Structure 1
């Protein structure tokens, strides 16, 4: 399989996940990933900055979905309604066919402290971007920070459920269920 064949990025991602699962993240090299995907190392670096980015390359798209939903929400919408809209927008990035990748990714990250740190940094960066989006909507502190943190924590809870071994519900259903739980908690 040459580098000119279609879908090199997905082949690289699949090869990397397989190698990370079999040999461990730390012991897997970019050269091994490229070879397993049937491409050159140079092609690998056209798609990913390093092997870690195979696991984190969707961060910008996810952040854009969250922030875009906050920015695009009706100006009069309550913060919790904006949080729900942001979760719906983010859920669109996790169709059923992405679940197994997400499960594998989670196992690889859980086995590596450096990747765990990167995942936490990703969530913190998302929270900061969301906080700023809520501020631009005119939400004062601490409400802007609380809304952003609430969105990210709710996302994380739903994502953890979605990647559980026997879970079959859609990600959007899990996000909506978590939002309903949140509303019930805050109603009292």
Structure 2
């Protein structure tokens, strides 16, 4: 692959995933990832601080969540705003062409303690981003926290279903259904 080709971050992520699958996360170096992508080590570090981050998309997902909440209609309540953000992820990030990559990525994460820990920290950061976005909409702090936590749980449930190659449904509808299921489960009779 030539160095001048576009999407260096995507190429690096694809190369890292291939190598992590082939030789394991622990046995793969940044230099190997860069070479496999047809790039240099300095290009790798222009986009990612370390090999752990190459599978986590930088701040793209957080930005999409914040933007989705901010662009929800003014009359939307907190959960509807979170649902809008999850829909935005489905339209722009968790698209059909990323499903296979995402499933492979999740298998690598599941097999590596260090990556599972990083994923857990990323989810905490994403939940915090949703809380801040809801607070900027004027949602009270406690309500923002609850809505963001419910949204995070719905996202996890939907993502697990979405990466299943037997499932052809889009992420947005899965996330909305998961959010409805999570809210229904919270109702005490």
| Shorter-chain TM-score above 0.5 | yes
2:30 corresponds to 1:30: yes
CA 1:166 to 1:31, structure 2 compared with 1: closer, same or farther past 3 Å? same
Q: Which residue of structure 2 aligns with residue 68 of structure 1?
A: 67
CA contact (8 A) 1:16 1:33 kept: yes
Q: Deviations over 1:122-164 (max 9, x none)?
A: 1111111211222222222421110111111111110011112
Q: Which is further off, 167-176 or 155-164?
A: 167-176
Output the CA distance in 2 between the equivalents of 1:183 and 1:128.
Answer: 20
Output the CA distance in 2 between the equivalents of 1:4 and 1:83.
Answer: 38
CA 1:181 to 1:4, structure 2 compared with 1: closer, same or farther past 3 Å? same
Q: Runs of 5+ in structure 1 lacking a partner?
A: none
Q: Runs of 5+ in structure 2 lacking a partner?
A: none
The TM-score normalised by the length of structure 2 is 0.88
Q: Which residue of structure 2 aligns with residue 102 of structure 1?
A: 102
CA-based RMSD of the aligned residues comes to: 1.9
CA 1:27 to 1:73, structure 2 compared with 1: closer, same or farther past 3 Å? same
CA 1:152 to 1:46, structure 2 compared with 1: closer, same or farther past 3 Å? same
Instruction: Say how many residue pairs are matched.
Output: 187
Q: Which is further off, 73-82 or 92-101?
A: 73-82
Output the CA distance in 2 between the equivalents of 1:156 and 1:166.
Answer: 18
SS of 2:135's partner is: helix
SS of 2:51's partner is: coil
Output the CA distance in 2 between the equivalents of 1:123 and 1:106.
Answer: 14
Runs of 4+ in 1 over 6 A off after TM superposition: none
Q: Deviations over 1:13-70 (max 9, x none)?
A: 2221111001100110111112222222222223322211210124x12111111222
SS of 2:3's partner is: coil
Q: Which residue of structure 1 aligns with residue 147 of structure 2?
A: 147
Output the CA distance in 1 between the equivalents of 2:3 and 2:142.
Answer: 50
Deviation at 1:170, TM superposition (A): 1.4
